[in-house]
Structure 1
Amino acid sequence: MSNATSRSLQQDLLGLNNRPLTWQAGAVVFGTAFLTLSSYISVPMIPVPVTMQTFAVLLVGALYGARLGTITVLAWLLEGALGLPVFAGGAAGIAPFLGKTGGYLVAFPFAAALTGWLVAQGWNGNRVMLAFAAMVLGHVVCLAGGAAWLAVLIGGKLAFMYGVVPFIVGTVLKSALGAATLKAVTHLTAKPAK
């Protein structure tokens, strides 16, 4: 891995990767709590509910950077796998990974990493349309992972109809909200000119 690639994986909007390990651990705890809260904002649908999880996953990736964002999402997934009720509707254990939500859950760390990396490349609040595109691409990773696993369970056509189509409007809205959040954070964290 080149030094430039390594640096871009560690860049983040909040400067967390330059903080002591205790700060980073605290950020992971806060991030997993944020991801859990987002899971409880849910609209029941069949076969997969609409939640704010993807928004939270991508925002954690964007704000924490690719490395720490991915670690945070993996920690949250581990909490759920160990039985803590952190997933949509309070679900926990291995069943969500094997059921219809499994592909989405597995895709989340990749989506966080991609979004964090894109933000480190300048797709951030200074360039709102690129920030929006970063969020959309993160959602595409989530939808592709979710639909791929659903295709195994219910077939390709049904997976697309039930695992992608109902989430398109939400993808656009959550991506716009994510881009607006990045713009606000970038404005708040900008160093004043001397």
Structure 2
Amino acid sequence: MTTILAPAAHGFDPLGISGRSLPVQAVLLLFGTGVLALASQISVPMVPVPITLQTFAITMIGVLYGWRLGALTVLAWLGEAMMGLPVLAGGGGGLAPFVGPTAGYLAAFPIIAALAGLLAEKGWTGERVLTSFVAHLSANLLCLVIGGAWLAWLIGFEKGMALGVTPFILGAVLKSALAAALLMALARHSAKPIDI
């Protein structure tokens, strides 16, 4: 059974989502919002700012769920945050993050999930580790561009770049490399969809 939320049948689909029913995909969506909430609380201390695993989880969900269900999962997670649930980095939630300095990054999140998922459906993942890395890095850099543009509009270009883009470039590269390596291992490990 295929639904509108499923990844393309010919694309990378290690979870077998293209064959899952809509109720199973709804459960996966809820599970994905939990993964995103957890990843938002995990940070790696870096100088001058810590790097969370948010964008890593977002691009991975885009790839593993497909661009439609991946983007919808991220939108649902952001909806949980808007309702006040502490699912964002540092236990943040409510409407304030959506109008403050982080608003641009939050707006970028469903876009980058969709981009990573779409590129995966085009074959930019799995054992094609270099294109997988480029897909994740492209999504991460797009997030920095959108988030940095909003921040630059609020506090000026130089400060926006210094506080909201430059410190996160190394993290984007590292998270993209980790994602590509994990997806290559997953592709090699499972020639058939994982039973969930």
- TM-score, length-scaled by structure 2: 0.88
Structure 2 counterparts to residues 156-167 of structure 1, below 5 A? 156-167=157-168
Runs of 4+ in structure 1 off by over 2 angstroms are: 6-12, 42-50
Tell me, which stretches of 5 or more residues in structure 1 are unaligned? 1-5
| Percent of matched pairs sharing the same residue | 53
One-letter code of the match for 1:121? K
Does the CA-based 8 Å contact 1:11-1:120 persist in structure 2? yes
Q: CA 1:188 to 1:43, structure 2 compared with 1: closer, same or farther past 3 Å?
A: closer
Aligned residue-pair number: 187
Cα distance in 1 for partners of 2:42, 2:132 equals 23
In the alignment, structure 2 segments of 5+ residues that lack a partner are: 1-5
CA distance in 2, matches of 1:48, 1:142: 17
Task: Give the aligned partner of residue 30 of structure 2.
Answer: 29
Per the TM alignment, residue 45 of structure 1 is displaced from its structure 2 partner at its CA by: 8.2
Out of 39-48 and 138-147, give the one that drifted further.
39-48
- The alpha-carbon deviation at position 128 of structure 1 amounts to 0.3
Structure 1 counterpart of 2:133? 132
Tell me if structure 1 keeps the 8 A contact 2:7–2:65.
no
Q: Distance in 2 between matches of 1:67 and 1:88?
A: 24
Q: Label 1:169 to 1:145 Cα distance change in 2 as closer, same or farther (>3 A).
A: same
Q: From the two aligned structures, give the one with the greater helix fraction.
A: 1
TM-score w.r.t. structure 1 length? 0.89
Supply the distance in 1 between the matched residues of 2:128 and 2:106 (Cα, whole angstroms): 29
Letter of the structure 1 residue corresponding to residue 191 of structure 2: A
Shift in Å, 1:7: 7.0
What secondary structure, in the 3-state scheme, does the structure 2 residue paired with 1:125 have?
Answer: coil
Whether contact under 8 Å (1:51, 1:88) holds in the other structure is yes
User: Could you report, residue by residue, the CA deviation over 1:138-179 in whole angstroms, capped at 9, with x for unpaired residues?
Assistant: 101110111011011111111111111101111111001100
Amino acid at match of 1:117: L
State the alpha-carbon separation in 1 of the partners of residues 35 and 141 from structure 2: 21
Which residue number in structure 2 is paired with residue 173 of structure 1? Answer: 174
CA gap of 1:158–1:89, structure 2 versus 1, over 3 A, is same
Give per-residue Cα distances to partners, 1:52-78, cap 9 Å, x unaligned: 100000000011010000010000000
Q: Conserved in 1, the CA contact under 8 Å of 2:7 and 2:18?
A: no
Does the alignment pair 1:122 with 2:139? no
Tell me the distance in 1 between the aligned counterparts of 2:187 and 2:64: 10
Give 1:101 deviation, angstroms. Answer: 1.1
Taking the aligned partners of 1:48 and 1:72, their CA distance within structure 2 comes to 27
Q: Deviation of residue 185 (structure 1)?
A: 1.8
